[in-house]
Amino acid sequence: MDPSSPTPSAPTAVQTVAFSFESLSEAPGTPWQREGKGNARFEGAGERLQVEETGVWWDRNTGSGKHHAFRKLFQLERNGSECIRYLKPAPDGDLQELLTLVPGKNGGWHSPEPHLCVDDIYRAELSLDTSDTLHMTWWSEGPQKNYTLHTHYQGAQLCRSWLES
């Protein structure tokens, strides 16, 4: 095959699953505990998996019951079985790489090096359990940040297929 010729596009697979998350901040002066839930739409084609989350979150500390709507977009790109890149849209619309994840224990993926953003560092892990629940955990630390975010995508069979292909 001629490397300059366009690659035929891979068929697109789509799945929408429920997700939930818990987040805990122990930052000085601004501790919080948040929870949220919603739906995540996974769209996979070849080496790319696009994810769109829509849902609500609430602060467990205040007990106000106020729900905040959100929408989050990100993309995962695989380089064979060597690594997964986590990208998010930048203000100009281009994709910006945040982290590279490499294979780790028990079939999971982790960031071997933290991502530095101004004064903060970010790390992440990604794993899939036997019930096809995708678990993504983020840690962020910095002068004004110290939080953990655990997200669970239930029944994410498309993620399993994408990770194992």
Q: Is the pLDDT score of 2 beyond 80?
A: no
Q: What is the model's pLDDT at position 10?
A: 65
- Domain 13-164 fold is Lipocalin (2.40.128)
Q: What is the model's pLDDT at position 3?
A: 36
Q: Is the pLDDT score of 99 beyond 80?
A: yes
| pLDDT tens-digit readout, 45-83 | 899 999 999 999 999 877 777 899 999 999 999 988 889
The ranges assigned to domains in the chain are: 13-164
Q: Is the pLDDT score of 125 beyond 70?
A: yes
Q: What is the model's pLDDT at position 13?
A: 94
Query: DSSP letter at 159?
Result: H
Rounded CA separation 57/67 (Å): 6
Contact 154, 133 (CB under 8 A): yes
Q: Report CA-CA distances (Å) from 139 to 58, 92, 106, 122, 125.
A: 19, 26, 20, 6, 9
Q: What pLDDT band is residue 143 in, cutting at 50, 70 and 90?
A: confident
Tokens of residue 3, six digits: 């490397």
Q: What is the model's pLDDT at position 117?
A: 86
Q: Report CA-CA distances (Å) from 121 to 12, 111, 124, 144.
A: 34, 11, 11, 11
Q: What is the model's pLDDT at position 38?
A: 98
């071997």: which residue's tokens? Answer: 112
| pLDDT tens-digit readout, 3-55 | 333 445 667 999 999 999 999 999 877 788 999 999 999 999 899 999 999 99
CA angle at residue 55 from 53 to 25, to 5 degrees?
A: 90
Instruction: Note every long-range contact of 59-65, with CB atoms under 8 Å and residues 24 or more positions apart, other chains counting.
Output: 59/32, 59/33, 59/34, 60/32, 60/33, 60/34, 60/35, 61/31, 61/32, 61/33
